[in-house]
Amino acid sequence: MSALRSLARAAAVLVAACVVFALTAGAALWTSAGPPPTLPAGFAVAAPAAPVSNPTLRADLLRRLELDRRVRSDPAMSSFGDMTSAPALWSFGQTAVRMTRIDRPNQRRVREVVAESGWPTAADIGADGMEALFYIVQHGPTDLQRAALPGFRVAWRAGDLEGQHIALMTDRILMNDGQPQVYGTQFRAVPGGRMGLVPIRDAAHVDQRRAAMGMPPLAEYLKVACDEMQVCVEPPPAS
């Protein structure tokens, strides 16, 4: 019995040490990441192509989207498909921290807007504002995505968003819910430090569904992901 107690105490000490290490490493990563990118002083939002009812909100969303894109274009993101070295992991982690420092205020602002006046439409913020809103939500939590998707579908049918936007958000929600995706837009880490596709429902007909959304075949999409993002995976076998 005393041996079991000793083993239990040793296990508790090991768990506590791991927690302390993780918290310490996380704090060091958060501190070393540095501030998120900022827009240059001369950055200006172009006038909308057509009149909108809320130009101030449109401009705010477009500025937020620009910051979103800048942090995600960090060179460290190119290591996403090669997480086998400590320096690559650390650099990627720093970029992820900076990303969080942009994403959280962006998502908080969207929630404030929705609470005040509901989900904006293209009449309010223009097609480019809708695209900015989409990407801010796409990089947010599942509850925000699920709340936004019906309005984004309306915008897509009106021609104010592309089909790929709907496919991306649909697949992201399904993935986060532990369900197979339907358009083949989502990747995740697999054993061996590689990236793979999230399982696809009825993979044999995925290209038909992609075509219905105005998207290229899955094999072409994966080639672009490999060439431009260094995320190289094989298409799923036909079933």
pLDDT of residue 212: 97
The pLDDT of residue 176: 94
Taking 50 as the threshold, does the pLDDT of residue 157 lie above it?
yes
Q: Packing angle between helix 142-157 and helix 122-138, nearest 10 degrees?
A: 140
What pLDDT, on a 0 to 100 scale, did the predictor assign at position 228?
Answer: 77
What's the confidence (pLDDT) of residue 85?
67
Angle, CA 154 vertex, CA 149 and CA 156 arms, to 5°: 90
DSSP labels, 145-212: HHHHHHHHHHHHHTTSS-HHHHHHHHHHHHHHTT--BSSS--EEEETTTEEEEPPBTTGGGHHHHHHH
pLDDT category at 14 given cuts 50, 70, 90 is very low
Query: How far is Cα of residue 50 from the mean position of the Cα atoms in its chain?
Result: 29
Band of pLDDT at residue 217, cut at 50, 70 and 90 = very high
pLDDT of residue 28: 61
pLDDT tens digits, one per residue of 128-143: 999 999 999 999 999 9
pTM: 0.78
Q: Map residue 51 onto helix, strand or coil.
A: coil
Cβ atoms of 233 and 225 within 8 Å: the answer is: yes
The two structure tokens encoding residue 224: 């672009």
pLDDT digits 0-9 by tens, 64-104: 999 999 888 876 665 554 556 677 776 777 878 888 999 99
